[in-house]
Amino acid sequence: MKLSSDLATRPMFRFLFVLTFAAAVAQQGWTSIYTNFAVEVVGVTGAQTGIIHALREIPGLLSVGVIFCMLFVREHKLICVSVVALGTGVCATGFFPTFHGVILTAVLMSFGFHYYESTVQSLTLQYFDKFETPVIMGKLRSATAAGSFFIGVVVFALSAFFPMEWLFLAAGSVALAGGLWGLTQKPESEGMPVQRKKMILRKKYWLFYTLILLSGARRHIFATFSIFLLVSRFHFTIQEMLLFFIFNNAVNWFLNPLIGKAINCFGERRLLTCKYVVLAVIFWIYSTTDSRLVVALLYVVEQLFTNFTMAIRTFFQKIADPEDIAPSMAVGQTINHISAVILPVAGGILWMQDYRIPFWIGMAVALAALAATQFIRYRKIDA
């Protein structure tokens, strides 16, 4: 089966590509600056970092609200409003340099990001077939990496000349512009399956729910503590962190489309197996190494293998009823964030006892996900 040559010209692909790029600029801009901002300007502790990240993930836990919103707003409009909210939260972050101010702006930004995540996944699975979807997801991940690379270069170039609040403002403005542009577009097609507008929980989707739950647990341990390890224990500066982000996103920019094609060639089970073996090793080394170079390399490798997560969504598309996609993506986001409200706080407390404990937990989660992955039936689509 050959990929349609007009794939990249479809209105929905262009629409999602622009919004993905804009959202990535804001999200990566926030990520690039936040940890140094929190440590150097706000002065947060390890325990406070856990609290901030836990509260920031509550909107992800409430992602089922997307289903309610769809009763009043069409999905392609909802994604635009979500990107606008993301941009607004990022723009405001630097102007509230207190513990409570960071919480407020992080929660606003997070509502936008997580509702964007649910809708972009849903629209991708609805508008592209089972062979096209991995390729489209790879291209959208490439757009994410391109946007992240772009803002990384900009922030790196400007960080020596402008205070952090202006860097947050620049990154958030791109998402604001992208979301407002999206509201003027009409990318939808006629004849698409009508999505159920209620919460869907089905026994036949149990493996998807399990993989999403474990993926969320692993991701939130990494997002909360791996970057915090680099800044607080190994004392990487904002410029050094930006160089990591720039290099990492340059690699992902080119490799993500290949990952999408690899799903079609090798199947979801093989890619996810590879991912979780590597991540379990990475978490173990995080807990044992004293080398700045090693932890920097681990961060880059971890980010690369995180992109294999798209295989969980393509696996779901192959087993799902077409009408279940939108509500299931929202439910999946909520399940993904169940651990996010617990692990950062618990991990922050455990960090104060021994910084290695959160990484041991991350290794255990990766091994559990590895075991669950073996229940995926091997799917290969002939090219």
Q: Quick one: pLDDT band at residue 1, thresholds 50, 70, 90?
A: very low
C-beta separation of 193 from 125 below 8 A: no
For residue 281, what pLDDT is reported?
93
Pull the structure tokens for residue 243: 């160089």
C-beta separation of 383 from 265 below 8 A: yes
Nearest to 229 by CA among 102, 361, 367, 46: 46
Tell me what percent of the residues of the chain surpass a pLDDT of 90. 24
- CATH classification code of 11-373: 1.20.1250.20
Residue 191 has pLDDT above 70, yes or no: no
Residue 4 has pLDDT above 60, yes or no: no
Domain boundaries, the chain: 11-373
What stretches of the chain show up as alpha helix (H) in DSSP?
11-36, 46-56, 58-61, 65-69, 75-93, 99-127, 132-158, 164-182, 206-221, 227-228, 238-266, 268-286, 292-306, 310-319, 325-336, 338-353, 357-373
Residue with tokens 């930004």: 109
What does the alpha-carbon distance between residue 249 and residue 317 come to, in Å, rounded to a whole number?
A: 27
Least confident of 106-120, 167-181, 365-379: 365-379
Q: What is the mean pLDDT of residues 98-116?
A: 91
What does the alpha-carbon distance between residue 145 and residue 256 come to, in Å, rounded to a whole number?
A: 8
Residue with tokens 């500066």: 237
What does the alpha-carbon distance between residue 245 and residue 145 come to, in Å, rounded to a whole number?
A: 10
Residue 318 has pLDDT above 50, yes or no: yes
Q: Report how far apart the first and last C-alpha atoms of the chain are (Å, whole number).
A: 4
Residue with tokens 């390729």: 135
pLDDT, tens digit, 9 for 90 and up, residues 28-85: 899 878 877 887 887 777 667 767 877 887 887 788 888 888 888 888 899 999 999 9
pLDDT, tens digit, 9 for 90 and up, residues 263-311: 888 888 999 999 999 999 999 998 888 888 888 888 888 888 888 888 8
What does the alpha-carbon distance between residue 134 and residue 137 come to, in Å, rounded to a whole number?
A: 5
Cβ atoms within 10 Å, residue 61 = 20
Q: Quick one: pLDDT band at residue 378, thresholds 50, 70, 90?
A: low
What does the alpha-carbon distance between residue 216 and residue 363 come to, in Å, rounded to a whole number?
A: 13
Cβ atoms within 10 Å, residue 36 = 20
What does the alpha-carbon distance between residue 258 and residue 69 come to, in Å, rounded to a whole number?
A: 35
For residue 383, what pLDDT is reported?
45
